[in-house]
Chains A and B, each alone.
Chain A
Amino acid sequence: MNTLMSSLDLQALREEFPLLGTEARGRIITYLDSAATTQKPYAVLREMQLYYQQSNANVHRGVYKLSQKATELYEGARDILAAFIHAPTREEVIFTKGCTEAVNLVANSLNVRGETVLLSQMEHHSNIVPWQLAGAKTVPIPINDQGEIDLDAYADLLKTGPKLVGVVAISNAIGTVNPIQKMAQMAHEAGALILVDGAQALAHQSVNVQEWDVDFLAMSAHKMYGPTGTGALWGRKALFDEMPPYQGGGDMIRTVAFEGSTYADIPNKFEAGTPNIAGVVGWAAAIAWLQAHDRDAIANHEAAVHRLLRERLAEVPGLRMIGNAAHQACIQSFVMDEAHPHDIATILDQQGICVRAGHHCCQPLMMRYKVPATVRASLGVYNTEQEIDRLVHGLQRVKEVFA
C-alpha cells in the first residue's frame, strides 16, 4: 500500500484521469511518460467540450453575443496564464501551437543571423534547430557528468558576446532543474538576452518570470495536463515591440492595402489566423485544476515517488542512471548493460508499462553521455509507489529475457 507520506488523496486524484483506468496489452496501464505528454483530467476535457457545445464562435471578429462569449473565454485564458507565470502585463502572453512554435517565433523575429546563440548541451532539438534555421551560430554550454550546467564555462562563453542564451528550465531527458535566475543575471551582465524553454517547468515548479528576470519563456499546455496543439510565448513588451511579425494573416493587422500593411499591437501582432480557441480554453482549465490542488503537496508527492524510483533503480544490477543532478525534477533516464533501450521499452510495453526510449529529441546530450539512447521514466502528479514496483518488476523481466 502507499507508504509515502502525502497529503494528496491519490486514489481520488487518479480517478479524475479517465485514461489511467484503461488497459494496455491486456494489463492495467502504467503511464510513466508524462514528460512526453501528461494525461488529461475530466476538468480539462469537460471545459473543452462545453466550449464547443455552448460558446463556439470565432474570436475578435463577430459583433454578435456568441463571438463575444468565445472572445471572453479566449482572452480570459490569457489573463489566467499571465497570472500563473507572473507576467507584468497580459499582452506579453502570445498563444502559439506549442513550445516549439514559441521558440521559432523568437528565432524568426529577433534578428540573430550571424549572431552567436549559447545553448546548453541538454537542450531539446526545438531549442537548437530554430536558431540554426535563423542563421545563428549555435555554441554549446557544457554540462558535467551529473547533468548540471558548468557555470564557469558559461561565464567564459558569455565573454564571446552572444546575442542570446537559450536554456531549458527542466531537462526533458535527464530532469535537471537549471539555475535560471542565476543564468539570467549572468546573461544580462554580459549584455545577452535569455530565452527559457519552460515545456517541463510549468507542471513541476512555480514559475515567476519577474523573479527569474528572463526575456522570453516558451510554454506548452499538454505537458501540464492541458491539450496538445497549444502553447505560448511570454516576452518583454519592449522586445516584442521591436520585433517584426512572425506570420502574416488575419487578426494580426491594423490596416491592409496592396501598397503595404500595418500591424496590430501585441499580442495580436504575433497571433495570425484563428487560434486554437478550444485548446486555450482547455489550458486555462488545466491551470485552474492545478491551482485547485495543493501545489506543495503535488511537488512533495512527485519528489517522493521520484526518490523511491531512484532508490529502486539503484538496486537493479547493471543499470546506470543518466541524470544525477543535485536539483532534479521527477524525470529519470537510465540504460542497462543487458539490453538496448528500445528492447527494454518493448518488454515493458508487453506488461502495459509506458516509458519512452530513444534520444528524447536531445541528440547532442546523448553524444555527451556517449549513449545512442536511454530509457526514460517520467512522472506526473498521478503516479504511485505501486507503479514504481511494476516498473522495477518489468526490468527484472528484461533481465530474465536477456539473461
Chain B
Amino acid sequence: MNDLYQEMIIEHARKPRNQGKLEEATHHSKGHNPLCGDEIELSLIVEGGVIRDVKFEGVGCAISQASASLMTEEILGKPVVDVLHLFESFHARMTQPNPDDSEDLGSLEAIVPVREYPMRVKCATMCWHALRDALERSHA
C-alpha cells in the first residue's frame, strides 16, 4: 500500500549516506523547519564549479533524512550549474499542480510521492533549500 514509505526511503532514513561534517568545506548552510523541528546542516567542497564532496548532519523525520541522503548521492561529482537546474526541476515536481514529469530525476523519483501529502513537502525540500542557499551564497 505504501507509495510514500517505499523501501528506498526507509533504507536511506535508517542509514543515511554522506553523514557528517567536512572540516575543509568551501560552502556551508543550515536548514530548519520550525513546524516539525527538522534540522539539517550541510557542508560542501566545491572546486572548479564541481561538487567534490558533500556531507550532512541532521535530525528529523524519515522523509527529511531520506531526502537529504538521496540528495547528497545525486549531486556528488556534478557541476554546480547542473545541481541548481536539478533543484528547479525537483522543486517544480514537488510543488506545482501539473508539473512537467518528462525529466528523469533518478533516485529522487522515490521522494516525489510526498507531493500527495502537502503538509510533508517541506520535509522533503528543506535539504534542497539549504543546498541552494549554500551554493548561491558563494556566487555572490
Interface residues of A (CB under 8 A from B): 339-343, 346-347, 349-350, 358-359, 366, 372-373, 401-402
A342 and B123 form a contact (CB under 8 A):
yes
For A358, give its contact among B35, B59, B63, B117 (CB under 8 Å): B35
B36 to chain A: which residues have CB within 8 Å? Answer: 342, 358, 372-373
A-B contact pairs, 5 of them (CB 8 A): A339-B62, A343-B61, A343-B62, A350-B1, A358-B36
Interface of B is mostly: loop
Asked whether any CB of chain A lies closer than 8 Å to the CB of B79, the reply is no
Most chain A beta-carbon contacts within 10 A, residue among B1, B4, B61, B120? B61
B2 to chain A: which residues have CB within 8 Å? Answer: 347, 350, 401
B107-123 CB contacts (< 8 Å) to partner A: 117, 120, 123
For B5, give its contact among A341, A343, A358, A359 (CB under 8 Å): A343
Chain B interface residue count, CB cutoff 8 Å, equals 17
A346 and B37 form a contact (CB under 8 A):
no
B1 and A340 form a contact (CB under 8 A):
no
Q: Nearest Cβ in chain B — how far from A221, in angstroms?
A: 25
B10 and A346 form a contact (CB under 8 A):
no
Q: Nearest Cβ in chain A — how far from B14, in angstroms?
A: 8
Given A372-B36, A401-B5 in contact, is the A346-B120 Cβ separation under 8 Å?
yes
Asked whether any CB of chain A lies closer than 8 Å to the CB of B60, the reply is yes
B61 to chain A: which residues have CB within 8 Å? Answer: 339-343
A350 to chain B: which residues have CB within 8 Å? Answer: 1-2, 4
A341 to B123, CA, bound (A): 13
A343 to B123, CA, bound (A): 10
Given A346-B120, A359-B37 in contact, is the A372-B5 Cβ separation under 8 Å?
no
B1-59 CB contacts (< 8 Å) to partner A: 1-2, 4-5, 10, 35-38, 59
A347 to B62, CA, bound (A): 12
A343 to chain B: which residues have CB within 8 Å? Answer: 5, 61-63
A340 to B60, CA, bound (A): 7
Output the nearest chain B residue to A344 by Cβ-Cβ distance.
Answer: B61
Count of A-B contacts with CB under 8 A? Answer: 42
Output the nearest chain A residue to B14 by Cβ-Cβ distance.
Answer: A402
Most chain B beta-carbon contacts within 10 A, residue among A340, A347, A366, A372? A340
B10 and A372 form a contact (CB under 8 A):
no
A347 and B37 form a contact (CB under 8 A):
no
A340 to B117, CA, bound (A): 16
A347 to B9, CA, bound (A): 14
Q: Nearest Cβ in chain A — how far from B99, in angstroms?
A: 21
A359 to chain B: which residues have CB within 8 Å? Answer: 37
A373 to B36, CA, bound (A): 7
A358 to B123, CA, bound (A): 13
B59 to chain A: which residues have CB within 8 Å? Answer: 372
Q: Nearest Cβ in chain A — how far from B110, in angstroms?
A: 14
B120 to chain A: which residues have CB within 8 Å? Answer: 342, 346
Q: Nearest Cβ in chain A — how far from B5, in angstroms?
A: 5
A-B pairs with the 10 shortest C-beta distances? A372-B37, A340-B61, A342-B61, A343-B62, A401-B5, A343-B61, A373-B37, A342-B36, A346-B117, A346-B120
A349 to chain B: which residues have CB within 8 Å? Answer: 117
A349 to B123, CA, bound (A): 16
Other contacts beyond A340-B60, A359-B37, A401-B10: 11, CB < 8 A: A339-B61, A340-B61, A341-B61, A343-B61, A343-B62, A343-B63, A346-B117, A346-B120, A372-B37, A401-B5, A402-B5
Q: Nearest Cβ in chain A — how far from B4, in angstroms?
A: 7
Output the nearest chain A residue to B5 by Cβ-Cβ distance.
Answer: A401
Output the nearest chain B residue to A402 by Cβ-Cβ distance.
Answer: B10
A341 to chain B: which residues have CB within 8 Å? Answer: 61
Q: Nearest Cβ in chain A — how far from B120, in angstroms?
A: 6
B60 to chain A: which residues have CB within 8 Å? Answer: 340, 372
A373 to B2, CA, bound (A): 23
Output the nearest chain A residue to B117 by Cβ-Cβ distance.
Answer: A346
Output the nearest chain A residue to B120 by Cβ-Cβ distance.
Answer: A346
Output the nearest chain A residue to B7 by Cβ-Cβ distance.
Answer: A401
A26 to B1, CA, bound (A): 13
A358 to B5, CA, bound (A): 19
Q: Nearest Cβ in chain B — how far from A106, in angstroms?
A: 26
A277 to B23, CA, bound (A): 62
Output the nearest chain A residue to B60 by Cβ-Cβ distance.
Answer: A340
Q: Nearest Cβ in chain B — how far from A376, in angstroms?
A: 14
A338 to B60, CA, bound (A): 12
A347 to B59, CA, bound (A): 19
Q: Nearest Cβ in chain B — how far from A283, in angstroms?
A: 29
Q: Nearest Cβ in chain B — how far from A322, in angstroms?
A: 14
